Amino acid sequence: MIRQYELVERVRAYDPSADEDILNRAYVFSLKCHGSQLRASGDPYFAHPVEVAGLLTQMKLDTASIVTGLLHDTVEDTVATLEDIERLFGSEITRLVDGVTKLSRIELQSDQTKQAENFRKLVLAMSEDIRVLLVKLADRLHNMRTLHYLKNPEKRRRIARETLEIYAPLAERIGIQRWKDELEDLSFAELNPEARDSILTQLARLRSEGEGRVERVVEALRQTLHEQGLPGATVSGREKSVYSIWRKLEHKSISFEQLSDIMAFRVIVESVDACYQALGIIHARYPVVPGRFKDYISTPKPNGYSSLHTGVIGPDKQRIEVQIRTQDMHDVAELGVAAHWAYKQDQQRTETREYRWMRELLDILEHAQRPEEFLEHTKLELFQDQVFCFTPKGDLISLPRGATPVDFAYAVHSQIGDTCVGAKINGRMLPLRTQLQNGDQVEIVTSKSQTPSPAWERFVVTGKAKARIRRFLRTQQRTQYIQLGRALLLKIFRREGYDFSDKSLDGVLKIFQATSTDDLFANVGAGLHSAHEVFNAVFPGHKQTERDEKTGLPTVRPKPKPKGKDQPLPIRGLIPGMAVHYARCCHPLPGDRIVGIVTTGKGVTIHTIDCETLESFSDSPERWIDVAWDIGSNRPENHVGRIALVVANEPGSLGSLSTVIGKNDGNITNLKITNRSQDYFEMLMDIDVKDAKHLTNIIAALRATPVINSVDRARGR
Ligand code: MN
């Protein structure tokens, strides 16, 4: 185990200005926190964070990262809290420790490897600071190095699979080839020890057969190139990693002997011309392996990689792979590991943003003067527009930022979205409008009787959820419109003395451009056509009811008098023989205080006393006559009352509207929607009522109905 002074010395070796005090305090704090805890190996637990910190010093990371390495398990595994860390080490380190702790928690979700790509994105999204990811990778590397101590083989395999599919690619992505190779090799050793052993044996055989082979080939190639006119060419060679050899064997179905690129050699020359010259020299000197030549200089790979690749039977009569490139091309190849990885993994080319980010990251890594500078500038901005959440089974669901449990439910399945009634987020019941966070586990509570609510539309963010909710509401609303339209038509037919059946409308469907009877009902219910228009189209000969020019609604319809034409109106104070009209502006009802206005040649118009229209007659008091309802007349006659309503635009609202009016013995005779918005309808409605009190009762009942926002007598409309 690395001693306290050793760790400090390691950091000071590359960063003489490092804060020794905080390193010492973190070392002691972690030691105290982990106390007598033991690792599966039997070592004190404290050895683990110290080794992690040690790995981070190899990467020459800043003091905050090393301290985070020392403290990374204290919050999750000991009594220490984030508040303690904050108090003792400040906010920057607290943020980093918190980040690593959160990453460790999402690891506990089951079976992420099924969705490796998403899980990698989640890890990146949660590592808002690249140091969090670096500490996490060091943590994983040390855990992999000590994996064999775990007794449970299932657990060992799970961790190894996860490492191979999630953490090794992440290490490669941020350019730490060394960690990537080691993570892969350790996972491979756990998952397929036989294959690994056989490759190692074969490599050992090759090595012993040709002692110092790599060096000999390098030397032979260099000599050839120098003699043939390229004195500036440099040559290097290496053995490929066991796991990458295995991948090749796996994917190319070739035998070990056929594998030409166990040894890879690289030639770097000064210019593009020199690349082709070097190729010519090598091809002239050694037999070419057919099908191995690739010219990525004339046709670079989509990620910008360029080089010449060829395969020849090399100086020691074995197949070798040779890559030829300039220093510039080499830099691009090295900086572009992430892009290269994405390319190899056959990702869709949608990752240009990630690619650019990687380039910038690696550029800073290469060119930053000091490690702190690199770290300070490298906040992970990847996937900041996404959140990743888990189902209770551990499936990962990726959503846009701002998504809610309703979005989540629809993303899982439309049916679950349609029937969701509540959500448990990380085990707690929370409102459906709650915005989800990375790593949240979401359990949707459903009920068969639930249907999508129009309120959801205001907070969902995914297109799928929006579309499903809207479609459902449209269907629902249409049902309401159909019911209402049908009821309106039924009433007008009965009132005018005709039987009503759906069939009677067949002949007029075309006139109203309706495709079916339901379609026509829906249009009437929605106020696109009035019931009167439809009735008049069915019976063109029927006496037209007088219509209000402004609203298109029929005005008061003179009822057929039960006892002949001399039946007096229920109004006292009228001048005998003078025609009487009810005003279209205020629709006076028995019980209203009324006044008559005389118009020469037209007769008397009855207004309610508070009608706004009366103002225009204030200069001609001679036209006013005092009238009153004949309350004692007790006529069974109905009058038209007009009301203005604002109703919530949601399923069921029109239904409850007509139900309330029906229950109160009102009779809707006409309806006109005057304004329609996302949330509300404004409408005018004519109702047959006995008198003003009757209408007041209906209005009161409507006001008590939740979907109705406001109701009033319509005056001056
Ligand atoms: Mn750990």
pLDDT of residue 256: 65
pLDDT above 90 (res 483): no
Q: Residue 138 Cα, ligand 1 centroid: separation in angstroms? A: 9
Alpha-carbon distances of 43 from 48, 67, 73, 187, rounded to whole Å: 9, 21, 16, 22
pLDDT of residue 73: 94
Question: Is pLDDT larger for residue 92 or for residue 529?
Answer: 92
Which distant-in-sequence residues (6+ apart) come within 8 Å of 400 by Cβ? 385, 386, 387, 407, 461, 462
Q: What is the pLDDT of residue 139?
A: 95
pLDDT at 347: 37
Is the pLDDT reported for residue 273 higher than 90? Answer: yes
User: Is residue 372 predicted with pLDDT exceeding 50?
Assistant: no
- Asked whether residue 553 carries a pLDDT value surpassing 60, the answer given is no
259: pLDDT strictly greater than 90: no
DSSP letter for each residue of 659-710: HHHHHTT-EEEEEEEEEE-SSEEEEEEEEEESSHHHHHHHHHHHHTSTTEEE
Q: Ligand 1 centre from 51 Cα, in Å? A: 10
Helix, strand, coil shares of the chain as percentages rounded to 5? 50, 15, 35
pLDDT of 237 over the 90 cut: no
Determine the average pLDDT of the residues in 399-417: 91
Asked whether the beta carbons of 244 and 294 are under 8 A apart, the reply is: no
pLDDT at residue 112 in the model: 56
- Examine the pLDDT at 89 and tell me if it is beyond 80: yes
Taking each helix axis as running N to C, give the angle between helix 177-191 and helix 193-209, from 0 to 180 degrees, rounded to the nearest 10. 120
Reported as a pLDDT band with limits 50, 70 and 90, residue 371 is very low
Long-range contact set of residues 208-216: C-beta below 8 Å, sequence gap at least 24:
210/316, 210/318, 213/263, 213/316, 213/318, 214/238, 214/239, 214/263, 216/315, 216/316
Distance 49 CA to ligand 1 centre (A): 6
- Ligand 1 centroid vs 176 CA: distance in angstroms? 19
Which residues carry out catalysis? 76-77
pLDDT at 609 over 60: yes
- Mean pLDDT calculated for residue range 290-296: 86
Distance 72 CA to ligand 1 centre (A): 6
The whole-model pTM stands at: 0.54
Question: In a 3-state reduction of DSSP, which class is residue 368?
Answer: coil
**Per-residue confidence at 477, pLDDT binned at 50, 70, 90?**
confident
260 pLDDT higher than 60: no
CA angle 282, 283, 288 (to 5 degrees): 120
Q: How far is the CA of 75 from the centre of ligand 1 (A)?
A: 11
Please give the pLDDT value at position 374. 41
3-state helix/strand/coil string of 377-430:
HCECCCCCCEEEEECCCCCEEEEECCCCHHHHHHHHCHHHHHCEEEEEECCEEE
The larger pLDDT score, comparing residue 578 to residue 613, is at 613
Which top CATH class is 4-195?
mainly alpha
Domain 639-713: state its class. Answer: alpha beta
pLDDT at 276 exceeding the cut of 90: yes
Cβ neighbours of 540 (radius 10 Å): 8
pLDDT of residue 635: 61
What pLDDT is attached to residue 427?
A: 85
Q: What is the pLDDT of residue 398?
A: 81
Q: Are strands 680-689 and 667-676 parallel, antiparallel or unpaired?
A: antiparallel
Say how far apart CA 266 and CA 37 lie, in whole Å: 49
Higher pLDDT, 118 or 234: 234
Average pLDDT of the segment spanning 687-715: 84
* Ligand 1 center to 188 CA (angstroms): 21
313-335: per-residue pLDDT in tens? 888 787 888 999 998 777 656 54
Q: Is the dihedral of CA 549, 553, 556, 562 positive or negative?
A: positive
E-assigned strands of 143-281? 234-239, 263-269
DSSP label at 590? B
Q: What is the pLDDT of residue 324?
A: 95
Q: CA 495, CA 609: separation in Å to the nearest integer?
A: 30
pLDDT, tens digit, 9 for 90 and up, residues 421-438: 889 998 888 888 899 988
DSSP state letter for 610? T
Centre of ligand 1 from the C-alpha of residue 38, in Å: 13
For the chain, the C-alpha Rg in angstroms (whole number) is 42
Kindly state the DSSP code that residue 621 receives in the 8-state scheme: G
CA of 131 to the centre of ligand 1 (A): 15
Q: What per-residue confidence (pLDDT) applies to 160?
A: 93
Query: Higher confidence at residue 448 or residue 129?
Result: 448
Q: Is 279 exposed, middle or buried (0-12, 13-18, 19+ CB in 10 A)?
A: buried
* Residue 554 pLDDT exceeds 70: no
Per-residue pLDDT at 210: 65
What is the mean predicted confidence (pLDDT) over 289-316?
Answer: 81
| Cα 90 to middle of ligand 1, angstroms | 21
> What is the reported pLDDT for 24?
95
Name the residue with higher pLDDT: 330 or 373: 330
In CATH terms, is domain 212-338 a member of 3.40.50.300?
no
Token digits of residue 678: 């996302």
Residue 497, classed as helix, strand or coil, is: coil
Q: How far is the CA of 244 from the centre of ligand 1 (A)?
A: 27
pLDDT at 355: 41
The residue whose two tokens read 């070392």 is 27
The reported pLDDT for the residue numbered 426 is 85
Q: Within a 10 A sphere around the Cβ of 431, how many other Cβ atoms?
A: 11
The whole-number pLDDT of residue 571 equals 79
Q: How remote is the CA of residue 342 from the centroid of ligand 1, in Å? A: 28
Nearest 5°: phi and psi at 363? Answer: -65, -45
Measured in Å, residue 163 CA sits from the centre of ligand 1 at 14
